[in-house]
Chains A and B, each alone.
Chain A
Amino acid sequence: MTKYKALIGLEMHCEISETNTKAFSSAKNGSKTSNIDLPNSHIRPVDMAFPGTLPVINKEAVKKALMASIILNCKQPEYIYFERKNYYYPDLPKGFQITQETKPAPVGIYGELTYECKDKIKKVRVNNIHLEEDAASQDHLESSSVINYNRAGIPLLELVTEPDFHTADEAVAFLETMRSIYQYAEISEADSKKGQIRCDVNVSIMDEDLDESDPNNWGTKVEIKNINSFGGVRDAINYEIERQIELKEDGTYDQMEQQTRRWDEDTLSTIYMRGKVDAIDYKYFVEPNIPKIKLSKSWLEEIKKQIPILAPERKEKYIKDYGLTEYDAKIIVKEKAIADFYEETITKGANPKLASNWLTTNILGYLNKYDLNIKDIYLTPQMLVDLIKMIEDRKISTKQSKEILVKIIEDKKEPKTIVKDLGITQITDEAELLKIITEVIKENQHQVEQYKNQPRVLDYFIGQTMKKTRGKANPSLTSKLLKQELDKQ
């Protein structure tokens, strides 16, 4: 890569999951529950394009799209139009997708966003962001295919960047920033596991010493379609850069045509789909059934005011108000659901530092291990508050608390119930514990003698006390009392 630099642009598709209904239909927006919903259960006649049905715009979806446009510092149009993108495919019942081309203007054009990549602040230009509808989802079986129209018509935001990224890391850092924005602005869960995010990537390489601000110096653009995860984006970009460098080294790069490829997850390679000459002519024209909508300044102002506090501001707050380290604060704000969970535990009275420790280590560790979302597990902020409280009150030990956490999640029970069920309440009563310790000392006179020369024998006594109490003795109290009693001997 020393001789070449890559120019990378992204098209990020993200379903708007936070509206009640679809983009142009009164059917339920099942984006959030797509993984568990009965197929073809969220459908109105318009979603299957029965003759005579008409699209009706969802104002909430437009609002969310405009909010994204404002956050991306885009220019909003005077009027909103929609267009038909005409092509045949079984997942597109109408035979066209309602979308927005760049002419007339979509919900946002010519914006820019700063993002962080490896502790450096970077900037990317946004060509446009537009609102469209998702297609149905398909499963291809051995001898047939099945279609699920639940997804057909779910509002989808497509964001198109200029080719301002130079590495896969930059592209992925940008995507992560966008995911955070969509989550914090309550536009979308932006969960690629639910198929809410899909990306197209375009990659070209050029000689390192040439000026990239002059498009004449750019190489041939290769578009890679339908990448469903950020990891896939990284791999596809890296693969494609390598592939193109090889062509340069072979001297065959200049013969490469502008083309569309797809990312193949099985072979971890990009595969040729079509060249420029086979590009589909989508025959765009303005959707006549949706009148142009005038955007009032006051509405845009109102939307601007409603933009929630985004991740960077929350991070600052955690550092300043809760005394978290930059590192921990960053981990917590990375996913809005985690940050929301964190704030709720604090509102409910947990110690901010302890809550942060729990989240960043045990809880996130568990979630990552099993590839889970915090919203999908039984643990609630209140349960975490209770758990922390029990440790603070010395009712349970730290070690026990970790086991209880797992039990909460896996057995789906309240922490108090688990503690009760397991009988793992600690003996914290000094008099009660002293009685047991006195017995232990009495039964182990030989070791008492040893202790006088070897203080480490204390551990043996602790062990014996634990054995006698079946682990219920509070460890620090046990240690304190044992020391006190042994020193008396």
Chain B
Amino acid sequence: MKYMNKSIEELHELLKNKEVTSQELIKESLELSHKVQEEYNAFVTILDDAKGVEVTDNLLSGIPYGIKDNYSTKGILSTGSSNTLKDYVPFFTATAIENLTKSGAVPVNKTVLDEFGMGGTGTTGHTGIVKNPWDKTRMCAGSSAGSAASVAAGVYPYATGSDTGDSIRKPAAYCGIVGYKPTYGMISRYGLFPFASSLDHCGVLTRNVTDAAIVVDNMKGIDENDMTTWDSKNIHLKESLTGKVTGKKLCYIKELCDINMYKNPTKELKEHLENFQKSLEICRNLGIEVEEVSVDKTLLNALASVYVVISCAEATSNMSNLTGLIFGPRGEGKKWDEIMKDYRTKGFSPLIKRRFVIGSYVLQAQNKDRYFHNAQRVRRLLVDTWKNLFKKYDAVILPVGSGPAKPLDGSKDILDKDTVALEEHLQIGNFGGFPSITIPNGFIDGLPVALNITGNCYDDENVLNIAYAIESKMNYKNQIASEVNHD
């Protein structure tokens, strides 16, 4: 690896000074892609015919990157990691990707995700499981598993992701990198295969906060094809990274961060929460005020169910277009409904079918108020609670998950009731459409762990700047995964 471990700005300097060509970068990235594919199974497609482009003043020009395979890319296989679209080649490109292309960015592969983003393990894509480059026996988390693994493994400086519950920010944490989803509507979703439209966000996985700012500066923008986008031309993420954070105020939530809240905490959880407190000390040393706040535990414990209800309901409807009649492999049968049923039965994994059943159930007339409408009410309560915090604090800082990446064998995959809220609180960022960024903040048993900073809508510059300042005082910036030894 000569170049691909470098940051975007470093690569841009090299390109500008003609110390390396775009073509050379693409070549290296493609070679690394094949290697990483063999090791970790991170890609659906490697674009071997990718070519170098002219280098302009745009920081992204000429530099390779990866695209999560749920972004529609014209003329390039786009599967959503699902058998239902295993041969689907779109004839239009997602706006966010179009924007990157205009910046001169060069895609070199399409990365594996949990089928249509509906999973958090990176194990349910139709091309098989994605392994964590820090430890092959562990998961990357999902759904942006391939993007996280390849950025962590140093295939390129960044890959796009999408985030409906924590699909960018959790895999980033498990892979020791940065994951950022901006405010809802800052990046167009046109061309992103939908999971749950009111929760879906586009975003990016990088190895440092500056790169995340640069990439989203280039992805964002109002789009006539997505009514939920808004004009962000006055937001300049990269320029906002001053590192000046004195007087900023952060809060963390006692019910999630206090070890005494857990009946039988694991050793990992203890270390994770202790490590988090160390990060808070770093914040204080930066001149940031950090306070503990309390949030109703009942409300926090409801968030995971709220997410399941709303995301499954929207997903059931969003994926009703997958009939195999207009696109996708045609099912067998004499009549259209037989053809459609055959296609869906064969195409979807059991996990997705389970979610469709849940989604359908909660929307049925007799259940709708009890489940769907109640979930929306609790969503509103949670969002209001966070918005109240943002009146006093610049952002909420919390640990991501209950520890490092979980083993793939599932031995620790039993959901501990106690830690559900800690595992799932990133979903609040989706409920409110809040800007939210995960950065690595240490290691447990040689595996990376992370913290998350979530701020109020449209306050992306502030959130990124705080993350940038904290990152600068820690040693996890630009880290490349190196496999831990299991001896």
Contacts and interface: CB of A to CB of B under 8 A. Distances in A.
* Interface secondary structure of B, over-half rule: loop
Nearest to B116: A51
A359 to B, nearest CB: 45
A52 B326 CA distance: 14
Contacts of A84: 317
Interface in A455-472: none
Contacts of B317: 84, 86, 95-96, 283, 285
Given A51-B88, A289-B228, A93 B326 contact: yes
Interface stretch (B31-39, B360-368, B446-454): B360-368
A54 B189 contact: yes
Interface string B132-170: 000000000000000000000000000000000000000
Given A56-B224, A290-B227, A51 B80 contact: yes
B320 A94 contact: yes
Interface string B350-375: 00000000001001110010001000
B77 interface: no
Interface string A82-103: 0010101010011110000000
A56 B225 contact: yes
A258 to B, nearest CB: 16
Interface string B77-119: 0101000010010111010000000000000000000000000
Contacts of B194: 51-52
Nearest to B328: A51
A283 B363 contact: yes
Interface in B319-342: 319-323, 325-327, 336-337, 340
A62 B72 CA distance: 30
A57 B225 CA distance: 10
A48 interface: yes
B65 interface: no
Interface string A63-75: 0000000000000
Interface in A17-57: 45, 48-57
Contacts of B190: 52-54
A281 B365 contact: yes
B418 interface: no
Task: Assign chain B's interface to a size class.
Answer: 35 or more
Contacts of B196: 288
A291 interface: yes
B291 interface: no
A86 B314 CA distance: 11
A50 B323 CA distance: 11
B226 A52 contact: no
B364 A283 contact: yes
B8 to A, nearest CB: 26
B325 A90 contact: yes
B202 to A, nearest CB: 11
Nearest to A87: B320
User: What range describes how many residues of A lie at the interface?
Assistant: 20 to 34
Chief secondary structure at chain A's binding surface: loop
Contacts of B393: none
Given A93-B321, A95-B320, A285-B317, A51 B85 contact: yes
Contact of B313 (A285, A290, A291): A285
A394 to B, nearest CB: 62
B328 to A, nearest CB: 9
Interface in A181-199: none
Q: Quick one: which of B71, B224, B225, B364 has the most chain A CB within 10 A?
A: B225
A54 B225 contact: yes
B225 A283 contact: no
B110 to A, nearest CB: 14
Interface string A299-324: 00000000000000000000000000
B372 A49 contact: no
B197 interface: yes
A57 B189 CA distance: 16
A288 B90 contact: no
A55 to B, nearest CB: 8
B198 interface: yes
Contacts of A53: 190-191, 225
B192 interface: yes
Contacts of A57: 227
Contacts of B325: 90
Contact of A45 (B91, B197, B226, B360): B91
B329 to A, nearest CB: 14
Given A52-B191, A54-B227, A289 B92 contact: no
A291 B363 CA distance: 20
B78 to A, nearest CB: 8
Given A51-B85, A52-B72, A52-B94, A86 B363 contact: yes
A57 B71 CA distance: 23
Given A283-B360, A288-B198, A51 B72 contact: yes
Contacts of A283: 316-317, 360, 363-365, 368
A96 B228 CA distance: 20
B193 interface: yes
Interface in B180-197: 189-194, 196-197
Given A51-B90, A281-B364, A285-B317, 13 more contacts: A51-B194, A51-B322, A52-B90, A52-B189, A52-B191, A52-B194, A56-B227, A93-B326, A96-B320, A285-B314, A288-B196, A288-B314, A289-B228
26 contacts: A45-B91, A48-B326, A49-B326, A51-B88, A51-B193, A51-B322, A52-B190, A53-B225, A54-B189, A54-B226, A56-B224, A56-B226, A88-B320, A88-B323, A88-B340, A94-B321, A95-B319, A281-B365, A283-B317, A283-B360, A283-B368, A285-B363, A285-B368, A288-B197, A289-B226, A289-B227
Q: Identify the 8 closest CB pairs spanning chains A and B, nearest first.
A: A95-B320, A288-B198, A49-B321, A283-B363, A288-B197, A52-B191, A52-B72, A51-B193
